[in-house]
Amino acid sequence: MQSKTPQNNQLKGWILGILGILTLSPDTLIIRLVDSDPWTFIAWRGAFMAVGMLFILSFSYRLQVFSKFFAVGWLGCLIAVIFSINNVFFQLSVQTTAVANTLVIVATSPLFAAVMSVLFLKERIKNKTWAAILVSVIGVSIVFIGKLESGDLFGNFAALLVAVGMGAHFVLVRLARPTDMAPAVAIASVLTCLIGLVMAPDLYLSPHQFGYLAALGLILLPVSFIFLTRAPIYITAPEVSLILLLETILGPLWVWMVIQEEPPLATLIGGALIMLTLIFHAIASLRDNQKKPNQ
């Protein structure tokens, strides 16, 4: 039984990560459907997500929920700040440079996660993971081929900060294991809401905008980030960051199904490359663990 534990844990990590990104993937579609001022969107998104996270955590931990918030400690506070900064700088990047630039630069987050895992966690990142990172970044680049521009320097730099921040987020969550850092994401949601409130020109939403944002913030985001925050307990930070790249293909597919906005062939090719890379990497990792001798 002991020999199966590492494989079972790793499989659990991949399942959590995939469930997280599947739940998160309609995010792009809802952003298109809401079509509000970006800062108004951030304020409401943060508010709804904070409420949704608190509800799920209260249901999971009941009377222990407040102790779970205190348990995250200074590391959880750091995770919360980084998570909030990521949200803000992603929005700034999208506003000040080409969206393609933002997404391709952010796609380098697995690389930063791998480097930080080596430096701070002293983890050995396997060659196949480095190869998967390289191929996935190529896949994202194919998706946005022809759309890249020189862009605004600040916007590109903001996207780079997001890539570093995303890598740092998953590394810190892995460092904190086995402490559940989902409460830190709830704290981050409150911080994000406050930043949105300061920057938003107003908080008006039409009924349909309110409904879409409520579904996103109360259900989809809390569920997805609880999965994604628990995944690094079982698999490495670079692997979780790689799973996030699935949104590159899943997001456009949701838009295609609902709005009938057909994605370009390059999006399908690049997305297929990312998906195949992750499938082969996951299978290879599980087989490696299965071959490990009993400990």
- DSSP category for residue 2: G
Q: Which domain holds residue 168?
A: 2-291
Measure the CA dihedral 263/264/269/275, to 10°.
-20
> How many domains is the chain built from?
1
Q: Tokens 């659990």 label which residue?
A: 12
* Number of Cα atoms under 13 Å in the Cβ half of residue 257: 11
pTM of the full predicted structure? 0.85
Encode the chain (295 residues) as per-residue pLDDT tens digits. Answer: 344 455 678 889 999 999 999 998 888 788 888 888 889 999 999 999 999 999 999 999 988 999 999 999 999 999 999 999 998 898 888 777 777 778 788 888 999 999 999 999 888 888 888 999 999 888 888 877 776 666 678 888 888 999 999 999 999 999 998 899 999 999 999 999 999 999 999 999 999 999 999 999 999 999 999 999 999 999 999 999 999 888 878 888 888 888 887 777 887 888 888 889 888 888 887 777 666 554 4
